[in-house]
Amino acid sequence: MHDIFDWSNATVGAVGLVLTVGAIWQATGAKKAALEAREAVFQRNASDSLAEVSRLAESCIEYLSLERPIEAGIRARDLAIRISRDRARFMRYVAADSSKLELLESVFRQLAVRLAEGRFLEDKDKAQTAIRDVADALNGLNAIHGRLLGRMDKEDK
């Protein structure tokens, strides 16, 4: 009778150990999946943020074209702030383009300063140069966004 209890206890203990190891293995897999999902969400947020910055740059070009320096100046300041914040926030995903983003931030910051000085858009050459600079910056933003999307697509496969 004593041996039956010993064997049954040993069997229950062994089954418990196997179930515990299985639960740990599943938890490890679940943790890995959660981390991958978190990473994907951050990448998507970075992509969405860059898309929004591109839309803001397009509206800045529109304000410059319509000779609305106050709105263009506000948009340029917003862009400089957003690019700076997003560059720091999403450094892991845009690290290769960090210096380019810093340069683009500088373009918008300088434009905001020039627009705040007043009478900037009255000189047609300066206005055209500003529009061209913002269009070039927009192209740079779109290129960075495209590279980020390309990396995301590559990781999804």
> Counting every residue, how long is the chain?
157
Q: What's the confidence (pLDDT) of residue 87?
A: 92
* 40: nearest Cα among 155, 157, 143: 155
Q: What is the pLDDT of residue 26?
A: 79
| pLDDT for residue 4 | 76
Contact of 141 with 57, CB cutoff 8 Å: yes
Contacts 24+ apart (CB under 8 A), 36-42: 40/152, 42/90, 42/92, 42/93
Which burial class, exposed, middle or buried, applies to 109 when counting CB atoms under 10 A from its CB (0-12, 13-18, 19+)? middle
* pLDDT the model gives residue 28: 77
Residue-range domain boundaries for the chain = 42-156
pLDDT of residue 2: 63
Which residues in the chain land under pLDDT 50? none
